[in-house]
Amino acid sequence: MNHLAKTDKKVAEALKAEIRRQREGIELIPSENFASLAVLEALGSVFTNKYSEGYPGNRYYGGTEHVDTVEQLAIDRAKALFGAEHANVQPLSGAPANIAVYSALLEPGDTVLGMDLSHGGHLTHGHPITWMAKIFKFVRYKTTPDGMIDFDQVRLLAREHKPKIILAGYSAYSRDLDYEQFKAIADEVGAYTMADIAHIAGLIAAGEMNNPTSLFDVITTTTHKTLRGPRGGLILCKKKLAKKIDKAVFPGFQGGPHENNIAAKAIAFHEAGQAEFKEYARQVKKNAKVLCNTLEQGGLKIMFGGTENHLILADVTPLGLSGKQAQELLDNVNITLNKNMIPDDPRKPMDPSGIRLGTPAVTTRGFIEIDMKNIGQAIISLIKNPNDEKIKTEARTLVAELANKYPLYSEIDI
């Protein structure tokens, strides 16, 4: 960081402080992870200088031979990793990937059937505050009281609203999905099947969760969550939709691809194909189960009947706090997670009943089951005794011990 420190002290200081924050805290936000140094090197490389509108071998600019090499590598590796017929690695992030798919497959006014936000869906699946909700019609299905997708409701809504896309995927749901049931309903009403695997792509790549790629028409994902790559998006699809999807991404929606980011995606796809990554994904799930059980035994109400992935959604109100209060209390001892709505939450989005937490980031650091149990118990003690300074001090000590035991980015000298 020599050059940065000389050129811009303010940004350099903020960056150093952020490295310290990541090192010294316990990161339980389930959409976050720690990318490898190889990924970070590619992100910070001269590939950022290059314009390359178009696709490998078919560009609007000269001098693209080397970005063609990395973009083709990224495409081939993404296809191999998920077993896809076609891959577009240019979407700038998860939300733009979803918008590109909507614009590829829908006309304005068409209908998408997706998961309700408070039941675990994502804003980009048609929340009324999004611009997409002004262009397309979104209908939402929910989960049953025992935490499963309500397929009877999915079928009824599909028959009633005749969606062009049936969308499976989530940001705050903790179970695996039965893609065959979605596909059967989509076939019945003539809809495309789309899976947004943004949160669970790494677990799917490692074979630790059901993979919808062979069954579904289109898959979208981020590359920075469990997949542990650079911040970015990815679309996989059947060959028959390849042209539509590629045209929708560019020139339909985006301009020049971010080739530094695409180089970093290529590296992340390579890393995710290794045996160590499979072991990582298994540990992510084991850690989540232990954390979930510890929180449940401590009195939190676990949503959806438990976890089969990397995340947990828990109602904290039985212990007397709101989700916002719990988030702030834990922030105060350097345990980071986020407040979250629970299904049909009676409280407001900015001060909901729940917290959402997960294990991808801490598992990258090396945390194992016993660490998750200790963290879970610390969380419970804090929530039960929000004004007890001794308990806060104990929690800070645990966080510091774990941060020391599992060093992060120790090669980066600040």
Ligand X SMILES: *Cc1c(COP(=O)(O)O)cnc(C)c1O
Annotated active-site residue in 51, 155, 247, 384: 51
Residue with tokens 């992340």: 268
Please tell me the distance from the alpha carbon of residue 410 to that of residue 77, in angstroms, as a whole number: 29
| 171 vs 364, beta carbon nearer ligand X | 171
Binding site for ligand X (CB under 6 A): 31, 93-95, 98, 122, 124, 169-171, 196, 198-199, 222
Is 226 annotated as catalytic?
no
Quote the least distance from Cβ 67 to ligand X, whole Å. 22
| 129 vs 275, beta carbon nearer ligand X | 129
Output the residue with the shortest Cβ distance to ligand X.
94
Spatial contact of 217 and 237, defined as CB atoms under 8 Å apart: yes
Please tell me the distance from the alpha carbon of residue 51 to that of residue 291, in angstroms, as a whole number: 45
| 111 vs 220, beta carbon nearer ligand X | 220
Quote the least distance from Cβ 169 to ligand X, whole Å. 5
Spatial contact of 250 and 45, defined as CB atoms under 8 Å apart: no
Residue 353 tokens, joined:
């009943």
Spatial contact of 256 and 52, defined as CB atoms under 8 Å apart: yes
Annotated active-site residue in 137, 231, 278, 347: 231
Is 225 annotated as catalytic?
yes
Is 176 annotated as catalytic?
no
Quote the least distance from Cβ 309 to ligand X, whole Å. 12
Q: Where are the beta strands (DSSP E) in 116-265?
A: 137-141, 165-169, 192-196, 218-222, 233-237
Return the amino acid letter for 388. D
Spatial contact of 85 and 232, defined as CB atoms under 8 Å apart: no
Radius of gyration of the chain (CA): 22
Quote the least distance from Cβ 219 to ligand X, whole Å. 11
Phi first, then psi, for residue 187 (nearest 5°) are -65, -40
| 102 vs 170, beta carbon nearer ligand X | 170
Quote the least distance from Cβ 82 to ligand X, whole Å. 16
CA 224 to chain centre: 7
Is 405 annotated as catalytic?
no
| 163 vs 376, beta carbon nearer ligand X | 163
Is 222 annotated as catalytic?
yes
Please tell me the distance from the alpha carbon of residue 100 to that of residue 232, in angstroms, as a whole number: 14
Annotated active-site residue in 225, 228, 339, 356: 225
Is 68 annotated as catalytic?
no
Question: Which of the residues are catalytic?
Answer: 51, 53, 196, 222, 225, 231
